[in-house]
Amino acid sequence: MSSTTGPLRLAVVGAGVIGRHHARVAVQHDDLEIVALVDAIPAAATSAADEIEAMGVARPVTTETIEQAIAETDIDVVAICAPSGMHVQLAEAALAAGKHVVIEKPLDTTMPRAREIARLAREARERGLVTSVISQHRFDPASVAVAQAAHGGGFGTVTSGVASVAWYRSQGYYDSGDWRGTWDLDGGGSVMNQGVHTVDLLVWTLGRPVEISAQTALLAHDRIEVEDTAVATVRFENGALGVIHCTTAAYPGLSARYAVYGTHGSAIVDDDRLSYFHIAPDSATLESASTTANATAVADAVDQKADVVPAEHVVGGPAEPDHFVAGHSRQYADIVAAIRSGSEPGVTVDAALVSLATVRGLYVSATLGQAVRIDDVIEGRYDDVVPVVGAASTATEGAVR
């Protein structure tokens, strides 16, 4: 039974970079207490516990399995931060023990396992358990403002959107872990590992994706199975069209950004901050714009971003204190509220399943060289497709020769 008065007791599974981050978030969150760190490598859990203890809180217990942690201490919530391909077995163990579950992105690396997590989450929901998937950027004030405008009609008819992640990852990054750059445990490359959050924001903002067409390539790295560059076009249920671009070969490493364009307004979010925001101020402006012969709707349209979010969430504004922690903390506040109230969390497993299916659909499309329906991906039609980087372009080259 979850604590109803004091902080919720959190166990973190996986004592790597992201697992330690979740633990630090818990230390700084009034409604959370880190009580256990789990890792198959005991030294990793011990060293993470040392870091937490040094922050001035009680030392969490350390174990090699989640079952051991559950047996040794009282736990309300389990945060799964292990390699993506292990998510389903860990979620099953935690939910079976009656614990709420938080899964670090992505939901998993394959659709069958992701569907299994969704099934487990639905069954657990009937027992009052909350399962959520980390998409912390859905809680960034800039993205909240853009989504509200898109969903509430502020942008008029949303016509298109662009998600672009232009990052840099060295060969050493991929060589630093045997699981990195593998289909089995990493689930993909620049899209699945680096771009998944920005793709999720595009899907969240533009609505249900219907069809995707993509190409992938491995252009700048060795000794990995996955792509370092990908592009795709997406058609959404409301008719909007989207573009996805992800790479880990953009020296020296630029930003993650997405843009939303509509008939009454548009917005751009760049590295979690609002870069541009404009909604037509009144109907007279829209009527005037409909008759103009100019290249733009109105002359000198005012960028309204400073009026939409606080200064620390605007490009060029002051830095948000401890921004990296703040993002996860905002989502954990939502998760805690859902647990305490018995409501659905802001990010459900089913929502994460759609975003994962969009990424999986991208890889299937690039492999088969054809457009792919997202519902077919969700329903399992392409479960047997083994992703191949650059497959479509290789086939085309062979035909030309």
The residues spanned by each domain of the chain are: 8-136+326-347, 138-322
- Residue 240, CB-side half-sphere exposure with 13 Å CA sphere: 27
Sign of CA dihedral 180, 357, 231, 328: negative
- Residue 299, CB-side half-sphere exposure with 13 Å CA sphere: 3
Per-position pLDDT tens, the chain of length 401: 455 579 999 999 999 999 999 999 999 999 999 999 999 999 999 999 999 999 999 999 999 999 999 999 999 999 999 988 899 999 999 999 999 999 998 888 889 999 999 999 999 999 999 999 999 999 999 999 999 999 999 999 999 999 999 999 999 999 998 888 998 877 899 999 899 999 999 999 999 999 999 999 999 999 999 999 999 999 999 999 999 999 999 999 999 999 999 999 999 999 999 999 999 987 777 777 777 666 677 667 899 999 999 999 999 999 998 888 999 999 999 999 999 999 999 999 999 999 999 999 999 999 999 999 999 999 999 999 999 999 765 544 443 33
What's the token pair of residue 298? Answer: 């109105």
Sign of CA dihedral 177, 181, 183, 189: positive
Third-level CATH fold of 8-136+326-347: Rossmann fold (3.40.50)
Residues with Cβ within 8 Å of 98's Cβ and at least 6 positions away in sequence, in order, are: 127, 129
Peptide linkage before 321 cis (omega within 30 of 0): no
Sign of CA dihedral 81, 82, 84, 86: negative
Tell me if 121 sits within 8 A of 131, measured CB to CB.
yes
For the entire predicted model, the pTM comes to: 0.90
Classify strands 273-279 and 265-270 as parallel, antiparallel or unpaired.
Answer: antiparallel
Is domain 138-322 annotated with CATH 3.30.360.10?
Answer: yes
Q: pLDDT value at position 395?
A: 47
Which residue, among 71, 69, 14, has the nearest Cα to 45 in the 3D structure? 14
DSSP-assigned letters across all residues of 257-321 = EEEEEESSEEEEEETTEEEEEEE-SSHHHHHHHHH--SSSSSTTPPP-HHHHS-GGGBTTSPPPT
Q: In angstroms, rounded to a whole number, what is the distance separating the alpha carbons of residues 167 and 378? A: 29
Decide whether 8-136+326-347 matches 138-322 in CATH topology.
no
Peptide linkage before 281 cis (omega within 30 of 0): no
Q: In angstroms, rounded to a whole number, what is the distance separating the alpha carbons of residues 144 and 142? A: 5
Q: pLDDT value at position 104?
A: 94
Long-range Cβ pairs for the range 372-379 (8 Å, 24+):
372/211, 372/212, 372/213, 373/210, 373/211, 374/208, 374/209, 374/210, 374/211, 374/212, 375/210, 377/111, 378/111, 378/115, 378/353, 378/354
Q: pLDDT value at position 398?
A: 42
Q: pLDDT value at position 150?
A: 98
Q: pLDDT value at position 56?
A: 97
Which residue, among 125, 129, 97, 102, has the nearest Cα to 29 in the 3D structure? 102
Q: pLDDT value at position 293?
A: 61
Tell me if 356 sits within 8 A of 107, measured CB to CB.
yes
* Residue 383, amino acid: D
Q: Specify the residue for token string 């358990």.
A: 129
Q: Specify the residue for token string 């939910």.
A: 95
